[in-house]
Amino acid sequence: MKTKIKDKHNKPFPWRLSIFPLLEFIFFLLAYSSNHYFISFLLILVASILLSFSVHIFFHECVHLQKKYPTPINILFSLLLGMPFDGYRVHHFNHHTYSNGLNDFSSTWHFSKGTKTAYSVWNYCFAWLRQVLRLIRSPNPFDPAWGELAPIKTRIQPQKMALFICIIILALVSLKALILYFLLIYFGWVFTSLHNYGQHPPIAEEPICTYANKRFNTLFFNNGLHWEHHNKPWLSWNHIELDANSPRIQYAHLINPFFEKSHDRQDTTEQ
């Protein structure tokens, strides 16, 4: 599925969705303030899961909401993501351009010995930095219909600098804070990749799937309606509706990779 963007920017800012990065920050502070290493580690894992939902719900909506933000907002978003916010924008536009095809940086497929092969869930998630390297090396990462690449690249530079300064400050002020920040970002993107693997199981030529459970989609702001989002990416989260034709997965995205995956269009809306 390859759907081009429509110019539907400047919609109201999704304040409700910002609960996820706010909770991510709170759990990071709790992990830092704990004197017990094991508890700190558990809290940073919770913060990492919240980072995953921040990416897939809040920052994802922000990318589709507006073409650009003021520099302070870009920097704040970058610090919460652990990478330039507009770098994530490029990554996501690439994803919509190629929809889990082999040119998609986040594809769950790869070429191995000349054959299209599915990544294992462990390889895919723990080696997520591979996606960043592909993004950096790509001269034409997305369809021009999604926007101009040059101004986006210009905005990425100060975001990189802000991240570098943040890391230097953390190193000077507190080694513990620096380690926890690296753990947050690394495991946050591990969970983000796990979430993405669940949304795009490498089992068919069109592996963009929906998790239709009503409770999940109420709690997580229609995040399960992923096929519907790819089909109409210009719609806000609160305007997306379940499509009877969407391919379905039986389990929520974060746990779907560990269970049998299916394209059966089962009615899971009442679970």
**Res 8: pLDDT:** 54
**Res 10: pLDDT:** 56
188, 245 contact by CB (below 8 A):
no
Residues sharing a CB contact under 8 Å with residue 173, sequence separation 6 or more, in sequence order: none
- Sequence-separated contacts (24+) of 145-151 with Cβ below 8 Å: 145/4, 145/5, 146/4, 146/5, 146/93, 146/96, 146/97, 147/5, 147/67, 147/93, 149/90, 151/68
25, 158 contact by CB (below 8 A):
no
Dump pLDDT digits (tens) for 6-62. Answer: 545 556 789 999 999 999 999 999 999 999 999 999 999 999 999 999 999 999 999
Residues sharing a CB contact under 8 Å with residue 35, sequence separation 6 or more, in sequence order: none
Band of residue 270 on the pLDDT scale cut at 50, 70, 90: very low
247, 205 contact by CB (below 8 A):
no
Percent of the chain at pLDDT above 70? 91
Domain boundaries, the chain: 15-258
More confident residue, 266 or 31: 31
Take residue 270 and report the two structure tokens written for it: 């009442």
Q: What is the mean pLDDT of residues 221-229?
A: 97
Whether residue 140 is predicted with pLDDT greater than 50 in this model: the reply is yes
Band of residue 206 on the pLDDT scale cut at 50, 70, 90: low
Kindly report which listed range (53-62, 93-102, 206-215) carries the lowest average pLDDT score.
206-215
Give the chain's mean pLDDT: 92
